Structure 1
Amino acid sequence: GADPCGEVVAVGEAVGPGLMGRRVLADGWIRDAVDPADRSKAGYLGSERDGGYAQFCAIPARNVYPVESDLTDVELASFPCSWATAEHMLTRPALVAGETVVVTGASGGVGSALVQLAKLRGARVVAVTSAAKFADVSACGADVCVDRASADLADAVVEAAGGTVDVLADVVGGTDFAPLLDAVRRGGRYTTAGAIAGPIVDLDLRTLYLNDLELYGCTVYEPAVFEALVGYIQRGEVRPVVAATWPLTEFREAQEAFVAKAHTGAMVITID
């Protein structure tokens, strides 16, 4: 429930009436009211605070962003968590036009967002995904796709990229972490916000220091990251990738479909 999209139907006493009736998205990171810069005090919507798997959801006014867009509520709800995470993953290593970025898990919610946001920055995208999803990921803007089942994934990535790459944006981790790190050029950057293939990885520290690599862990982003995302949406610079919708009454079935990983993009829960 970290991605609610809906209409403001009530506000607190300290909040002006300007938000009433507005369609909004919510920044899921609930920061400390007194010390918002202290990331250790931040909690997440749907985790430390009740989220959007309900008819109503109470959110601090500072976390609410009105959105003017022709997109549907379902399409808008596909953005907040995965896309803000992806934007954070590219903001921290400062990906710029002309650079090459490798995106692992490119068919997932964060991965498909990484592809679009990297292209928006003018970067070249090498996407790692299953062969069955090449067409879907290419439609998101990937310049070239690499089969995640390749016998030597790192070699396949370097060959597809035409050499070592500037940035590795990884949401997979697991056994591919170490070999893929070798595919990053000297002085390059590794950025991560997930480990669906396993959180425990092998890191040869010589790879890190001899290649002058920068490693970025990305979780609690600055508010400016979400503000940038809302701007992209309102200007029509990104498109939602909705794999399926499920009513809240079929939440179990939605979770089972999510775990099956046969989809590309996001799954959205609707309140009927």
Structure 2
Amino acid sequence: MADNALGEFLRARRAVLRPDEVGMAAYGVRRVAGLRREEVAVLAGVNADYYARLEQGRERRPSAQVLDALGRALRLDPDAQAHLHRLAGTAPAVPLGHTTDRVSPALRRLLDGYPGSPAYVVNRTLDVLAANALAEVLHSPFEELDNLARMTFLDPAGRQFYTRWGGTAQSVVGHLREAAGFEPDSARLRELVRVLSAHSSDFVRLWNTHAVRGKTQEAKHFLHPDVGPLTLTYLALDVRDSPGQQLIVYQAEPGGPDAEALTLLTTLTPFVPQADFEA
């Protein structure tokens, strides 16, 4: 995605940390609110000139130990720490030759095996590769269930459907930043970022923070025109035989109003005969 992705990430994360957040006293006139390069170097226990070269892209092969120290200095969470190592080339190589956007017949059958839970498969750039009928109904306010980032930032339904839109937007951009660490030369990601940047200033602002986030488990808050407010928790499962794919399954808290709303949503799901995916 960039010639100096490591340096850009370090600068962006440095910019969002204040001295008082890391136990340092602020002194002198500060041109920016974040930490100075020298302060990051002190916190990480590295030479200030060496750290400057990392940000400038003149030094591109820091050791894993240095990266761990920088991660601690910058207060990176596990997702961001792993992203830092990927950018520097110290993370295990990803078997890109096996990456595919094709959803296997077995996984498609598994999707349909969750009739009471919205479920879909995404790739690293948040393209929706397959979805079950309930997931389609849940996302029916959108023009199309095609890419979660496009839906969040560019579809008119996004800001009303995601009742906590700001948090959803941050999460989406964090996932795309993580994708950039896995596949920095991805043409699909490059084009998606170009389109989103051209049409959404909110996306540009969040993208420039370089915040990273992986999909694991989280509560999402929706407003559906047919069933009203709905809070669901999703679980993200890696598809082992298709690196980069994740199965996302939503569930409601049993016995509560969200479970009742989800049950009502299932009544809007059209009957679809079992497809013959073996063909």
TM range (shorter): under 0.3
Greater percentage in helix: 2
Larger Rg: 2
TM-score with structure 1 setting the length? 0.26
TM-score with structure 2 setting the length? 0.25
